[in-house]
């Protein structure tokens, strides 16, 4: 698949100034400046995150109200329900808050809505559960900011709500006694990008401070906070980066029994990174809600007995195996549908529908199809008498607006710029396909249908040293707005030893100015003829380590390559 290369620029005056103060590689200085780290103090805080740099929780709007209402519940012996969403952010949020409150107060329970019976967010069934069990305070985590009518219903039943959320509020807010959400327009909390678990963490910190508890009373949950930050794909900047940095340390040194059990089943042999959390821990936790009931994810996280934690982890492991099988089978069937319908080959959208697909994985399948065809994609299945599905976008295209434009054919819809969900009647599926294709075709820029690779900086092979790589490692934890640096090296030649491995991949041996480096390019075998042309290449890659037979060497993890436009006269 053809890709667009976008090379970022930086203010060279700032780069020179930072290089003069830091005395480190100038290419690294260029990347730091691009990321807004353009003076010594900012860089110091970036490379040496400190918990002392976290903002006071009391800066968040309604924090006093929230703490006072919880302490009142303690004093009056009220029953408290901790309520959260069924994804990783929601289940870790509930596990943190439930354990924290339980450590100081015993009249507390937790509730996770069932994905298919109750749907996303605050549910009527959850409120009715609270009423039935004489609970008068619900703390919602990672949800609630849009639940205006349901929280009003709870209020009628005599149940107060404290909402801890990070999703963008609407103009009308729910009638909760306190709303903790830094994205409220009148909230002056300095950092706006906390995940749901991060907001709950702030509430626990404030309660601890009010009750004069030791910091460890809430810092002990940093491993769960790090898992939430990684899984929810929030910006890896500011407080998120500090929390993830220390949370990852705890994951590697002293994780809770639940996280430890997942890592055991995943076969973790060494220290893990945020990337490992995203690809090894998060899918297993999410699978519980996708395939069955996410309550057991919370039970895993709060379990203190290592053997029982293994049992819960095995349940999640089994759910994830089922999820992978369903994901693989449905993706294969979806590709067959696309290939059999030659009329759609030039479409600017993909919409596929089959009645018996598992609705828990249609969003994942949509992402898989974008990897293949790279166009806004909707995957639909049937649930009862209603068709439902998930949509995923390509970078830069507002998917929600396109779905909104088709609203006359839908029963309901929701989502954001990059992802959405919808329900519709079976008889409207074909009309929706046509309408969605028409809207997207009329509004999408042609270049958005070509994947873009964002490149941080140009680099020479001579710069890629062990010392350089050690500084790259200190840029961890990586994530949105702090991604692993992507480099371009120009006028590179094949050394003559590159080869195809396992029929699909390329093992590169490349040289530039008599310096040789190896690399691996997954699923690039179809581009091997370019290497055989003996023409200079421009290559795009990240840098990592390769361990083989007890030896560790730096290697290039190839992203793309093409023929150089100009031959360097040095060759």
Which residue range is the domain that position 418 belongs to?
A: 341-449
Residue 276: phi and psi, rounded to 5, are -65, -40
> What's the CA gap between 523 and 202, in Å, rounded?
43
Q: Name the pLDDT band for 570 (thresholds 50, 70, 90).
A: very low
> What's the CA gap between 337 and 380, in Å, rounded?
13
Domain membership of residue 3 (yes or no) is no
pLDDT per residue over 23-49, tens digit each? Answer: 999 999 999 999 999 999 999 999 999
Nearest to 249 by CA among 275, 222, 267, 269: 222
Is residue 274 within 8 A of residue 517, CB to CB? The reply is no
Domain membership of residue 276 (yes or no) is yes
Same domain, 214 and 359: no
Domain membership of residue 39 (yes or no) is yes
Tell me the pTM: 0.91
Q: Look up the CATH number of the domain holding residue 481.
A: 2.40.50.460
> What's the CA gap between 489 and 506, in Å, rounded?
18
Q: Look up the CATH number of the domain holding residue 271.
A: 3.90.1640.30
Q: Name the pLDDT band for 571 (thresholds 50, 70, 90).
A: very low
Helix (H) / strand (E) element for 111: namely strand 108-111
Same domain, 389 and 523: no
**pLDDT exceeds cutoff 90 at 416:** no
Q: Name the pLDDT band for 60 (thresholds 50, 70, 90).
A: very high
Domain membership of residue 302 (yes or no) is yes
- Quick one: pLDDT at residue 240? 97
Which residue is associated with the tokens 């996410």? Answer: 294
Question: H-type helices in 292-419, by residue range?
Answer: 295-302, 306-340, 362-373, 399-405
pLDDT per residue over 72-107, tens digit each? Answer: 999 999 999 999 999 999 999 999 999 999 999 999
Hey, what's the torsion of the CAs at 433, 435, 437, 442, to 10 degrees?
A: 180
> What's the CA gap between 321 and 337, in Å, rounded?
24
Same domain, 388 and 515: no
Structure tokens at 285: 């936790």
Same domain, 297 and 185: yes
pLDDT per residue over 325-336, tens digit each? Answer: 999 999 999 999
Residue 214: phi and psi, rounded to 5, are -65, 150
Same domain, 432 and 467: no
Domain membership of residue 265 (yes or no) is yes
Is residue 396 within 8 A of residue 361, CB to CB? The reply is no
What is the rounded end-to-end Cα distance, in angstroms, of the chain? Answer: 29
pLDDT per residue over 466-489, tens digit each? Answer: 999 999 999 999 999 999 999 999
Q: Look up the CATH number of the domain holding residue 360.
A: 3.10.310.30
Same domain, 34 and 156: no
Is residue 30 within 8 A of residue 222, CB to CB? The reply is no
Number of residues that make up the chain: 571
- Quick one: pLDDT at residue 566? 61
Same domain, 225 and 203: yes
**In DSSP terms, which residues pair with 163 in a beta bridge?**
140, 179
Over residues 358-383, the mean pLDDT reads 94
pLDDT per residue over 176-204, tens digit each? Answer: 999 999 999 999 999 999 999 999 999 99
Same domain, 121 and 254: yes
Q: Name the pLDDT band for 341 (thresholds 50, 70, 90).
A: confident
Domain membership of residue 333 (yes or no) is no
Q: Name the pLDDT band for 144 (thresholds 50, 70, 90).
A: very high
**pLDDT exceeds cutoff 70 at 569:** no
- Quick one: pLDDT at residue 121? 85
Same domain, 442 and 459: no
Task: Show which of 449, 471, 492 is a domain's final residue.
Answer: 449
User: How many independent structural domains does the chain possess?
Assistant: 4
Domain membership of residue 527 (yes or no) is yes
Query: What are the CA-CA distances from residue 426 to residues 270, 307, 385 (Å)?
Result: 49, 47, 8
Given its phi and psi angles, is residue 128 left (phi above 0), alpha (psi -120 to 50 degrees) or beta? alpha
> What's the CA gap between 82 and 77, in Å, rounded?
15
Domain membership of residue 335 (yes or no) is no
Same domain, 44 and 63: no
Over residues 259-270, the mean pLDDT reads 90
Residues 6+ apart with CB under 8 A from 364: 323, 327
- Quick one: pLDDT at residue 269? 79
Cα angle 113-119-120, degrees, rounded to a multiple of 5: 80
Same domain, 167 and 220: yes
Same domain, 93 and 225: yes
């Amino acid at each position: 698949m053809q890709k667009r290369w976008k090379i970022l620029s930086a203010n060279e005056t700032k780069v020179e100034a930072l290089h003069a103060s830091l005395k480190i590689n100038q290419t690294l200085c260029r990347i730091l400046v691009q990321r807004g780290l353009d003076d010594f103090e900012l860089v110091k805080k970036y490379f040496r995150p400190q918990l002392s740099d976290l903002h006071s929780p009391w800066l968040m709007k309604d924090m006093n109200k929230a703490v006072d209402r919880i302490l009142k519940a303690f004093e009056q012996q009220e029953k408290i329900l901790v309520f959260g969403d069924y994804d990783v952010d929601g289940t870790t949020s509930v596990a943190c808050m439930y354990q924290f409150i339980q450590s100081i107060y015993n009249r507390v329970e937790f509730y996770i809505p069932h994905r298919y019976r109750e749907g996303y967010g605050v549910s009527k069934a959850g409120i009715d559960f609270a009423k039935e069990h004489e609970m008068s305070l619900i703390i919602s985590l990672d949800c609630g900011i849009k639940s205006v009518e349901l929280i009003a219903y709870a209020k009628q039943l005599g149940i107060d709500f404290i909402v801890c959320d990070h999703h963008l509020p609407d103009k009308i807010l729910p009638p909760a006694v306190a709303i903790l959400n830094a994205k409220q327009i009148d909230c002056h909390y300095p950092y706006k990008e906390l995940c749901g678990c991060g907001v709950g963490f702030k509430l626990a910190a404030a309660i601890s401070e009010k009750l004069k508890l030791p910091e460890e009373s809430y810092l002990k949950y940093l491993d769960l906070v790090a898992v939430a930050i990684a899984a929810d794909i929030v910006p890896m900047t500011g407080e998120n980066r500090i929390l993830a940095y220390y949370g990852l340390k705890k994951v590697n040194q002293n994780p809770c029994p639940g996280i430890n059990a997942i890592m055991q089943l995943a076969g973790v042999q060494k220290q893990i990174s945020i990337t490992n959390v995203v690809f090894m821990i998060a899918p297993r936790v999410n699978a519980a809600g996708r395939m069955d009931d996410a309550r057991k994810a919370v039970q895993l996280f709060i379990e203190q007995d290592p053997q029982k934690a293994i049992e819960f982890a095995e349940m999640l492991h089994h759910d994830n195996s089922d999820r992978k099988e369903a994901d693989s089978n449905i993706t294969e069937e979806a590709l067959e549908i696309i290939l059999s319908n030659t009329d759609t080959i030039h479409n600017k959208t993909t919409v596929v529908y089959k009645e018996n697909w598992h609705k828990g994985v249609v969003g994942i399948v949509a992402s898989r199809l974008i990897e293949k065809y790279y166009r806004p994609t909707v995957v639909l299945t049937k649930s009862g008498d209603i068709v439902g599905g998930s949509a995923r976008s390509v970078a830069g295209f507002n998917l929600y607006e396109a779905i909104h434009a088709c609203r006359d054919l839908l029963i309901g819809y929701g989502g954001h710029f990059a992802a959405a969900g919808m329900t519709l009647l079976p008889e409207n599926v074909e009309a929706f396909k046509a309408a969605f294709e028409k809207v997207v075709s009329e509004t999408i820029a042609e270049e958005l249908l070509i994947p873009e690779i964002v490149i941080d900086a140009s680099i020479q092979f001579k710069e890629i040293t062990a010392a350089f790589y050690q500084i790259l490692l200190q840029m961890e934890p990586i994530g949105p707005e702090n991604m692993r640096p992507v480099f371009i090296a120009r006028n590179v030649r094949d050394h003559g030893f590159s080869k195809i491995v396992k029929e699909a991949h390329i093992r590169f041996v490349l040289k530039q100015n008599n310096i040789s480096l190896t690399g691996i390019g997954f699923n690039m075998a179809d581009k091997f003829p370019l290497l055989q042309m003996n023409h200079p290449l421009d290559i795009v890659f990240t840098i990592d380590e390769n361990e083989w037979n007890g030896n560790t060497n730096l290697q290039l993890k190839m992203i793309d390559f093409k023929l150089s436009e100009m031959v360097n006269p040095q060759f």
